[in-house]
Amino acid sequence: MTPVRTSLVCALAAALAACGGLQSIDPNAAMSAGTNLLKAATLSDSDIVALSTEACKASDTQSTVAAPGSAYAQRLARVMSGFGDMTLNGQPIAYKVYMTKDVNAWAMGNGCVRVYSGLMDVMNDDELRGVIGHEMGHVALGHTKKAMQTAYTVSAARTAVGAAGNAAVTALSTSQLGDLTEQFVNAQFSQSQERAADDYSFDLLKKKGMNEKGLVTAFQKLATVDGGQSSMLSSHPSSPSRAAHIEKRIKDGG
């Protein structure tokens, strides 16, 4: 058995064990869950685009989106204009503002970029571009594909638990898109992935003729927001060393 299939079997077994064993499993539901677990490990780029599109739509429905003519929407349009007519993995960028005090931003593999008003309240335009460039870097470098695969696996595993007749968990399986989006937005990236996304943002800002210093001061601000406990830092850890790394690149001319 391949390592991928072995890990999927373990994930399914763990999910089933959580609900007390194999006695009352619905075979059809369990088979569906197992298929989803296998699919999670083999999601193609087109699968990621389709899944991201559905997840982003679900997130928009559950969130308060800034009206097109609002000050927040107009400001984000101005900020994004600095990136010009670029795409993410061949997908056109579609950006919106979520009206929430949370300090966060994220991007998905279908070009969906969402920026929270709480982040906009504490960042100037250059800093916003640095953060958004970082998030787009996770997409361009393939990090979000892995995060979506993980989120899809968790959702599929919960469906497997629901297949065993646990009513509480069965209810979870009926809102998989919301669950998947939550898992994705809260995804943890490795230190190497964060550094790579930082460098992507720096290179993008430099290429587009924007202020790379905004990436440095964005890190510094995020470290102090809510005592360093902002929702963004829970999944995007900032540190003086990351700011220093970008400052060194600026000093060295890139």
In the chain, beta strands by DSSP E: 87-88, 91-92, 94-98, 105-107, 112-116
Nearest to 100 by CA among 56, 126, 66: 66
Residues 6+ apart with CB under 8 A from 249: 199, 202, 212
- Return d(Cα 146, Cα 189) in angstroms, integer: 10
For position 64, what pLDDT does the model report? 98
Summarised one tens digit per residue, pLDDT across range 128-158 is 999 999 999 999 999 998 888 888 777 666 5
- Return d(Cα 230, Cα 228) in angstroms, integer: 6
pLDDT at residue 188 tops 90: no
Residue 135 annotated among the catalytic residues of the structure: yes
- Return d(Cα 121, Cα 76) in angstroms, integer: 12
pLDDT at residue 171 tops 90: no
pLDDT, average across residues 180-186: 83
pLDDT at residue 250 tops 50: yes
For position 238, what pLDDT does the model report? 56
Q: What is the mean pLDDT of the chain?
A: 78
Summarised one tens digit per residue, pLDDT across range 200-247 is 999 999 999 999 999 999 988 888 875 555 555 554 555 678 888 999
The percent of residues above 90 in pLDDT, for the chain, comes to: 46
pLDDT at residue 4 tops 50: no
Summarised one tens digit per residue, pLDDT across range 27-46 is 444 445 555 555 556 778 88
Strand partners, 107: 113
pLDDT, average across residues 190-207: 94
pLDDT bin (cut points 50, 70, 90) of residue 184 is: confident
For position 232, what pLDDT does the model report? 58
pTM (whole model) above 0.85: no
SS3 state at 20? coil
Residue in 54, 127, 135, 212 annotated catalytic: 135
- Return d(Cα 183, Cα 178) in angstroms, integer: 9
For position 22, what pLDDT does the model report? 41
The backbone torsions φ and ψ at residue 107, rounded to the nearest 5 degrees and listed phi first, read: -140, 150
DSSP labels, 212-234? THHHHHHHHHHTTGGGGT-HHHH
- Return d(Cα 115, Cα 77) in angstroms, integer: 11
- Return d(Cα 113, Cα 91) in angstroms, integer: 11
Per-domain residue ranges of the chain: 3-251
pLDDT bin (cut points 50, 70, 90) of residue 125 is: very high
pLDDT at residue 8 tops 60: no
